[in-house]
Each structure stands twice: as structure tokens, then as C-alpha cells.
Structure 1
Amino acid sequence: MTHILLVEDDPAIAMSLKVTCKREGWQMTWLDNASSVLPMLHSNDAQDLSAIILDVGLPDGDGLSLCQQIRHTPDIGRLKDIPVVFLTARSDEVDRILGLEMGGDDYCAKPFSPRELVARLKAIWRREQLLFEQSAATATVTEATENANQHVSARSSGSTPAHHLSGQALSFECQSGIWHYQPLNYSLMWQDTKLELSNTERKILLTLLQAPNQVFSREQLLNAVSDYPDHRLARTIDSHIKSIRKQLAIVDPSRDVIYTHRGLGYALCPA
């Protein structure tokens, strides 16, 4: 069953969303304060969570900072990468950008329709599934090519080729290096090092990996990570790219993996 965590201090909003989730056949856990969230995520009750709906203005803390805490808490496993949708009365552009830069996946300004929020959650999951399927297709081609090359090498050397990929891991190989994606825990690795990325940043990088030689505009990248591109600002892509570059530089500071094509967009640097 789909399990949603709602962190919201307004009982009326919580009850409305609880009814909507029940109609969808979803389970909803409701917390009305920030301090209970991380302990809940460490508990067994959180292991089947599918998303977090997080109010920005909580009585005991800032929802934006709480999201950042979640993103940087490695001991909660896959839950640190769980989709987060913000609820807030703030509608200013700066606040929207800040929420997305803090690691949020989408944003609903109050007042909002519960049905719209459900649609946004489904859109996030749809995008995750699409990226997984595209990644799997790319990995299948890569693995088939590698296996063929290993078979030829084995025939000439008399040795047995080693299968270096597990059944679930996905592999990308291009001029920028070797990448591995593990969909079970949303782990994306470059040069055998795990990258600490938000959901949106991981989706952007996976999109670039689908076509390493293609230049993607900001609008195309927004379309790739959201079914509601008008709801999110194209300039946020620049911030996410900057954050991705920082993570890549930790692995190898001598290489510029993502290249900026001025006036056009971004692509994986082939060199």
C-alpha cells in the first residue's frame, strides 16, 4: 500500500488530505511538528514510505531546514532521497526557488486542492518510473555490448568473462566515465563513488546520461523531472547543476563533467 507522511500543523488540512488519501487507497501518517519527523524516519513504521508532504511553516521549526536535514541524514537509507512536496502559504518566487534548492521535488501554495496534490505525487512517481525504465533500457544495451566484447576477449584468451554487474544495478559508460545506478536505494555512482544528490538533481543527471552528446535546454530538463514545468522555474535548473558539479568535483576536481552551452543549455562533457 502507498504510504504518505504528512507533516502539517493545521488539523483541517490534515483531515482533508487523510480523506483524499483514503479514497486513493493510500495510508497516511500525520505528524503536526518538525521534531517528530527524523525519529519517525528512523523507525520501522517508515520503511514503506513513498513520499513526504511537508509544511514549510511548522510551530517548532522550519520545513525547509527539515527537508535539508532529511537529505543529509545517511543512516535513514533510501528515505533520505524520498520525494518531498512542500505545502506553504508563501507564494513568493524566492521562497519557491529556495524550497526546490533545499531538496524539494515539488511545491503547492496554500490554498490548494487535495486532488491537485495527489496528481503531483503521481507525476513524481511517474517520472521516477520513466527514468528507471529508460535507465534499464540503456543499461541493457551497455551490458549486451560489454558482454559481447568480453566474449570475444575470452575466446581469444581461453578465460571465462566475469559478469561485473548485478541483476539490479544499471550501468552507463560514456566518455565522461563509468556510472552506476541502483534503483532500489536511488544510488547513483560515478567512478565508483556515490554522489550525494537530491531527487531532482539525480533525475537531471540521469536525463543527461540518456543522451551524453545531446544539449538539453533548461525547459527540457524541467520537463524531464516534472509533469508541471510551469510550476517550477527554469532558473532553478542552474542551481541544481551547480550543486551537481560540486558533488562531481569532490570525486574528481580536475574534470568538468557537465558543460554549459551558453544560450542553449547543458550536456555531459565528452572529454
Structure 2
Amino acid sequence: MTHILLVEDDPAIAMSLKVTCKREGWKITWLDNASSVLPMLHSLEAQDLSAIILDVGLPDGDGLSLCQQIRHTPDIDGLKDIPIVFLTARSDEVDRILGLEMGGDDYCAKPFSPRELVARLKAIWRREQLLSKQSATHTTATDNTTNRASSNSMSGQALTFECQSGIWHYQPLNYSLMWQEQKLELSNTERKILLTLLQAPNQVFSREQLLSAVSDYPDHRLARTIDSHIKSIRKQLATVDASIEVIHTHRGLGYALCPA
């Protein structure tokens, strides 16, 4: 069963979302404070979570910082890639950029329609399935670069990509992406960006194209957030092998796997 964790201190919003989610046949767990979230995520009951809806402004903490904790707490490794959608009363672009950079997958600005939020969650899950399916069926070959993937990612088969930077393995069931036999500690968005680049090693992707690849509701004013995600990806790759330039910046155009 689809299980949603809702972290929201406004009872009216929480009740509205609970009713909408139950109509979808989803289980929903409601917490009204930040301090209860990490203990809940450590519990066995949290292991079946499908997504987290997280209010940015909580009475006892900052939802943005809480998101960052979820993404970087080792002992809740199985939930580090869970989709997170922010609820925010802040309309400022800087706040939205910050939320995405800290590991959020999407956001809804208050006031919002519960049906819109449900649609955004479905879009995130659909995009995950599509990305895995595309990775599983797409094969690209060049003189020295090949990209091989298994034929059925929905069955849980691991995907393998081979290119000049080395061998990559992706496990759709637990969203684990490995390079040179080392697991990469990536946010959900960062993993999607890297998988998009891996599918077409010789293609230069613009910021707008990468943003569209990781969001069904891309706000192209936020395309510059891609730069921050690329920086974070490079930092993680450098912990595995700093001697290899995996992602190349094409000035004025975008990014591609090296060499392009």
C-alpha cells in the first residue's frame, strides 16, 4: 500500500490532505512537529514509506534542514532517496531554489489544492518508473563508449552502463547507483540527473533539459539549480576517484559525460 508521511502543523491542511489521500487508497501518517520525524523514520513502520510531504515552516524546526538530515543520516539509508515534496507559504524564488538544492523533489506553495499535490506525487513516481524503463531499454554505442542496460527494470534487475569513465550499476528497487564498485551518496534529484546523462553519453544537455528530466513541473526560472546539483555530484564522484573528470561543462550550452 502507498504510505505517505505528512509533516504539517496546520490541522486544517493535514485533515484535507488525509481525506484526499484516503480517497486514493493511500495510508497516511501525520506528524505535526519536526522532532518526531527522525525517530519515526528509524522505526520499522517507516520502511514502507512511498513519499514525505514536508512543511517548510514547522513550530520546532526548519523543514529545509530536516530534509537535509533525512538525506544525510546513514542509519536511515533505505529512506535517503524517498521523494520529498515541500509545502511552503514562502513564494520567494530563493526559498524554492534552496529547497530543491537541499534534496527536495518538488514543492507546493500555499494555498494549494490537495488534488494538485496528489498529482505531483504521482508524477514523481511515474517519472521514476519512466527513467528506469528508459535506462533499461536504451543502448547507445560510439567508438569507445557503450551504454548497456537490462530489459526489464520494473522486475528489479540491476542496470549496467559502460562508458569511458568506467562501469556504473543502478538497482531500481533501492535506487542505488554505484560507480567503480562504490555506492554514490546522491540525492533523488542528483541521481536522476546522472542517470539522464548516462543514457546519452555523447549528448550535451542544457540546464533546462536536465530540469525537465527530473521534474514534471519544471519552473525554468530555477534552471540554475542544476549547477548546484552538478557541483554536488562532482564532489561525490571525487570521493571515489578525483583523477577522472566524469561530467564536462560546455560553456553556454550545458553538461555532458566526458568525453563528449
Work out whether the TM-score is over 0.5: yes
SS where residue 123 of structure 2 aligns?
A: helix
CA drift at 1:136: 1.7
Larger radius of gyration: 1
Q: CA contact under 8 A between 2:124 and 2:216: conserved in structure 1? A: yes
SS where residue 216 of structure 1 aligns?
A: coil
Q: Distance in 2 between the 1:251 and 1:169 partners?
A: 21
Q: Could you tell me which residue of structure 2 aligns to residue 210 of structure 1?
A: 199
Q: Could you tell me which residue of structure 2 aligns to residue 142 of structure 1?
A: 148
> Within the alignment, does 1:103 sit opposite 2:73 as a pair?
no
Q: Distance in 1 between the 2:247 and 2:160 partners?
A: 18
Larger proportion of helix: 1
Change (3 A) 1:120 1:225: same
Q: Could you tell me which residue of structure 1 aligns to residue 180 of structure 2?
A: 191
How many residues are paired up?
Answer: 249
SS where residue 111 of structure 2 aligns?
A: coil
User: What is the identity, as a one-letter code, of the residue corresponding to 1:263?
Assistant: G
SS where residue 53 of structure 2 aligns?
A: strand
SS where residue 195 of structure 2 aligns?
A: helix
Query: 1:72-95: per-residue Cα shift (whole Å, max 9, x none)?
Result: 112113211100000011111111
Q: Could you tell me which residue of structure 2 aligns to residue 238 of structure 1?
A: 227
CA drift at 1:169: 1.7
Q: Could you tell me which residue of structure 1 aligns to residue 143 of structure 2?
A: none
Q: CA RMSD in A?
A: 1.7
Q: Distance in 1 between the 2:70 and 2:221 partners?
A: 22
Q: Could you tell me which residue of structure 1 aligns to residue 170 of structure 2?
A: 181
Q: Distance in 2 between the 1:187 and 1:70 partners?
A: 16
- Unpaired runs of 5+ residues, structure 2, are 140-146, 151-155
CA drift at 1:209: 0.4
> Within the alignment, does 1:55 sit opposite 2:20 as a pair?
no
Tell me the percent identity. 90
Q: Distance in 1 between the 2:101 and 2:148 partners?
A: 33
Q: Distance in 2 between the 1:142 and 1:89 partners?
A: 44
Change (3 A) 1:58 1:77: same
User: What is the identity, as a one-letter code, of the residue corresponding to 1:142?
Assistant: R
Q: Could you tell me which residue of structure 1 aligns to residue 249 of structure 2?
A: 260
SS where residue 208 of structure 1 aligns?
A: helix
Q: Distance in 2 between the 1:225 and 1:253 partners?
A: 26
Q: 2:240 aligns with which of 223, 240, 251?
A: 251
Q: CA contact under 8 A between 1:9 and 1:33: conserved in structure 2? A: yes
SS where residue 229 of structure 1 aligns?
A: coil
Q: Distance in 2 between the 1:260 and 1:126 partners?
A: 29
Change (3 A) 1:94 1:100: same
Q: Could you tell me which residue of structure 2 aligns to residue 40 of structure 1?
A: 40
Q: Distance in 2 between the 1:232 and 1:129 partners?
A: 26
TM-score normalized by the length of structure 1: 0.88
User: What is the identity, as a one-letter code, of the residue corresponding to 2:92?
Assistant: D
Q: Distance in 2 between the 1:211 and 1:88 partners?
A: 35
SS where residue 131 of structure 1 aligns?
A: helix
CA drift at 1:231: 6.8
Q: Could you tell me which residue of structure 1 aligns to residue 144 of structure 2?
A: none
Q: Distance in 2 between the 1:142 and 1:125 partners?
A: 24
CA drift at 1:232: 6.5
Map 1:68-87 onto structure 2 (within 5 A): 68-87=68-87
Q: Could you tell me which residue of structure 2 aligns to residue 168 of structure 1?
A: 157
CA drift at 1:222: 1.0
User: What is the identity, as a one-letter code, of the residue corresponding to 2:234?
Assistant: R
Q: Could you tell me which residue of structure 1 aligns to residue 30 of structure 2?
A: 30
Q: CA contact under 8 A between 1:258 and 1:266: conserved in structure 2? A: yes
SS where residue 81 of structure 1 aligns?
A: coil
SS where residue 104 of structure 1 aligns?
A: coil
CA drift at 1:168: 2.2
